[in-house]
Structure 1
Amino acid sequence: MSAPAGESGHGAGGAGHGHGHGVSANADRKLLSGALALIVGFMIAEVIVGFAAGSLALVTDAAHMLTDAIAIALALLAIRLAAKPPRGGFTYGFKRVEILSAQANGITLLLLAVYFVYEAVSRMINPPEVKGALVLITGVVGIAVNVLATWLISKANRSSLNVEGAFQHILNDLFAFIATAIAGLVVLLTGFARADAIAALVVAALMLKAGISLVRESGRIFLEAAPTAIDPQALGVELCGVPGVVEVHDLHVWEITSGEPAASAHVLVAEGLDCHQIRIQIEQVLADRHHLTHSTLQVDHATADTRAAHCSDSHGAVHRADAATTAGAAPAADPASPAH
């Protein structure tokens, strides 16, 4: 007899599976809160010094630090919301709030980068007076602050795209302060005021790089794309190699949130075989080889009625086992037949 529709399991290694990555959510909150306090305190001082020194690089850094503070605050909020249990229509809970946070961070970085490129080009054309000593001192202090903040966030769970977004903000700010300190030194020693605008362009380039990465990765999760480490086509072929499997279709692999992949599929097995045992074998393959411990598998025997009932509307590629190598398998369908 066939397995009930929608029968699911969590494969070998799935029992007792948790979503922690070695760092608890409570520890993440403490680390992020410490970084947030450092960033906000220094940001206020930098805004004051930036205007006093007439430095676009410092003002750019301060604006970047504002996005850092917002990014960390959103990360903290997302961690709290993601911990809430599923309820009502939100069957996954609020796990994807973390991805919304990461995407907001990325978009903010991109918008600010465009603005600072414009400002930097304007200052390259008409460079204002810049007080190099103030820029240099502030840049050096900023490096120290960001090294500490980067270290704090690096100890948090960076497999979370949400935390990684905050980390990228802080890391880019560290590089930005290095560029700013160099610019301040150049202005102090040579009087070359355009060095400040050049530093601002470097900061903007770093912001663009980080922003594009965050938007791309969060977009993949929202579009239900497979994790980059998993090729669904190759996975379908691999599952058809499990003894007794005749066909695999409606195979979907996605991420609920960063670090939480899931899979579902309709599997047809040869008549006369134990489809429940084969399901367990498939779950072991998914868990052991691909870390897919959350799988929902519909397993049926490969009869003509089954194919007609379940395979009329294709949702992706159809993977069929070689009838000559599949133990006890029914003959594969005619390749000229419809996809399902």
Structure 2
Amino acid sequence: MSTPPADKGRCAGVPSDDTAGHAASAVTGPPGHGHDGGHGDGHAHGVAANADRRYLRGALILLALFMVGEVIVAFASGSLALLSDAGHMLSDVGAIAAALWAMRLAARPARGAWTFGWKRAEILSAAGNGITLLVVSGVVGIEAIRRLINPPTVQGGPVLVVALVGVAVNIGAAWLLARANRTSLNVEGAYQHILTDLYGFIGTVIAGIVILVTGWTRADAVASLIVVALMLHAAWGLLRDSGRVLLEAAPEGIDLDDIRTHLLGVEHVVDVHDLHVWTVTTDLPALSAHLLAEDSCFTDGHTPQLLDQVQACLGGHFDLEHSTFQLEPATHATHEHGLH
């Protein structure tokens, strides 16, 4: 069976060097990824994993040293804003440490029961970052409301000085993490921690100035509530994105109807069902589907070429790393009721 040229608007096929046969299914990927269905890195990133770890370690050391000093000054000055920033910074340190640990796990090769390796450790780390932000924001928010009602004595001078240093430290840490590969949800989670801490310190600087100029100590609690709002916003983003991955929702920007239309545009594909698209981890989407093909494809050994056509279609229109197809003759459709 020869393959006629693709009609305008249909996905064109590509030549195949595969030996003709009666393959019923295969694992494919976009052009350049090969047909081995392996678990190696398919996307080339601008920043290497070892560079990511170096940037994260630098930020970790910088924040840990400053956090110790901030806790001391917070207790000495009686500032909740500084203490809340220190608590958030503790979560920053924990987030970066967890991100580094998750990177090490994700780098482990696939073996045994772990057919995708430990790649989702990075997603779990991102979810943990979101949960940590929720917990810290709740603790700080309750104390901030209490102090807003009954404001204690707060020394504006130490608050202002430490907050200014904190702004500088967090700018340095944010700069380090911005150089890492932030397409990783794991790295992005650590970056969001740093960014909200930076905004929090800016609010604390303003609170310190207000206390020094006006003596209005409630400004300290107000600054804390601003930090809480920022933490909640960052937590929601991390939990939403990590939740989509863990619940195996289709990646954002991927339209299943669009994929189905393109697959049906491949010559000799009669129908597509049992179509699933999910994300294993950041930048590693996967797809599986049952393709009904013309019966003649299974008698003249055309299935390898058909798989190449499907591969070229997905590679040309969608960024899909792992694709698994089960090829079935059109007459097999009556055997699979209830599939979508």
Output aligned runs, 1:265-304, within 5 Å: 265-273=289-297, 274-303=302-331
Output aligned runs, 1:207-218, within 5 Å: 207-218=231-242
Q: Does 1:9 align with 2:34?
A: no
Output aligned runs, 1:131-210, within 5 Å: 131-210=155-234
Deviation digits for residues 149-192 of structure 1, max 9, x if unmatched? Answer: 00000111111111110000001111111001111011111101
Task: Decide which moves more: 97-106 or 1-10.
Answer: 1-10
Q: Is the contact between residue 30 and residue 319 of structure 2 (CA under 8 Å) also seen in structure 1?
A: no
1:224 to 226, 229, 248: 248
1:128 to 131, 152, 157: 152
Q: CA deviation at 1:267?
A: 0.5
Q: Is the contact between residue 32 and residue 76 of structure 1 (CA under 8 Å) also seen in structure 2?
A: yes
TM-score between the two structures when normalised by the length of structure 2: 0.88
- The residue type equivalent to 1:312 in the other structure is H
Task: Decide which moves more: 86-95 or 5-14.
Answer: 5-14
Q: Percent identity?
A: 52
Q: What CA distance in whole angstroms lies between the structure 2 residues aligned with 1:247 and 1:275? A: 15
Q: What CA distance in whole angstroms lies between the structure 1 residues aligned with 2:108 and 2:41? A: 18
Q: What CA distance in whole angstroms lies between the structure 2 residues aligned with 1:216 and 1:128? A: 37
Q: Does 1:74 align with 2:98?
A: yes
> What is the match of residue 333 of structure 2?
307
Q: CA deviation at 1:12?
A: 1.8
- The residue type equivalent to 1:145 in the other structure is V
Q: Is the contact between residue 23 and residue 303 of structure 2 (CA under 8 Å) also seen in structure 1?
A: no
> What is the match of residue 106 of structure 1?
130
Task: Decide which moves more: 91-100 or 266-275.
Answer: 266-275
TM-score between the two structures when normalised by the length of structure 1: 0.88
- The residue type equivalent to 2:283 in the other structure is G
- The residue type equivalent to 2:24 in the other structure is A
Q: Is the contact between residue 13 and residue 288 of structure 1 (CA under 8 Å) also seen in structure 2?
A: no
Q: Is the contact between residue 102 and residue 162 of structure 1 (CA under 8 Å) also seen in structure 2?
A: yes
- The residue type equivalent to 2:221 in the other structure is A
Q: Is the contact between residue 86 and residue 92 of structure 1 (CA under 8 Å) also seen in structure 2?
A: yes
- The residue type equivalent to 1:185 in the other structure is I
Deviation digits for residues 268-305 of structure 1, max 9, x if unmatched? Answer: 112324332222121112122111131111122212xx
- The residue type equivalent to 2:64 in the other structure is V
Taking a change above 3 Å as real, the CA distance of residues 107 and 17 of structure 1, as seen in their structure-2 partners, is closer
Q: Is the contact between residue 119 and residue 280 of structure 2 (CA under 8 Å) also seen in structure 1?
A: yes
Deviation digits for residues 85-123 of structure 1, max 9, x if unmatched? Answer: 112211111001111111110001011111211111111
Q: Which runs of 5+ in 1 are unaligned?
A: 318-340
SS in 1 for 2:116: coil
> What is the match of residue 332 of structure 1?
none
Deviation digits for residues 183-206 of structure 1, max 9, x if unmatched? Answer: 101111110101100000000000
Q: Which runs of 5+ in 2 are unaligned?
A: 1-19, 35-39
> What is the match of residue 45 of structure 1?
69
Q: Is the contact between residue 4 and residue 298 of structure 1 (CA under 8 Å) also seen in structure 2?
A: no
Q: Is the contact between residue 53 and residue 135 of structure 1 (CA under 8 Å) also seen in structure 2?
A: yes
Q: What CA distance in whole angstroms lies between the structure 1 residues aligned with 2:22 and 2:139? A: 58
Q: What CA distance in whole angstroms lies between the structure 1 residues aligned with 2:283 and 2:22? A: 29
> What is the match of residue 11 of structure 2?
none
Q: CA deviation at 1:2?
A: 8.0
Deviation digits for residues 255-275 of structure 1, max 9, x if unmatched? Answer: 110111111111011232433
Aligned residue-pair number: 312
Q: Is the contact between residue 56 and residue 120 of structure 1 (CA under 8 Å) also seen in structure 2?
A: yes
- The residue type equivalent to 1:270 in the other structure is E
Deviation digits for residues 113-142 of structure 1, max 9, x if unmatched? Answer: 112111111111000111111111111100
Q: Which structure would you say has the larger RCO, counting Cα contacts within 8 Å and 6 or more residues apart?
A: 2
Q: Is the contact between residue 122 and residue 185 of structure 2 (CA under 8 Å) also seen in structure 1?
A: yes
> What is the match of residue 89 of structure 1?
113
Q: CA RMSD in A?
A: 1.5
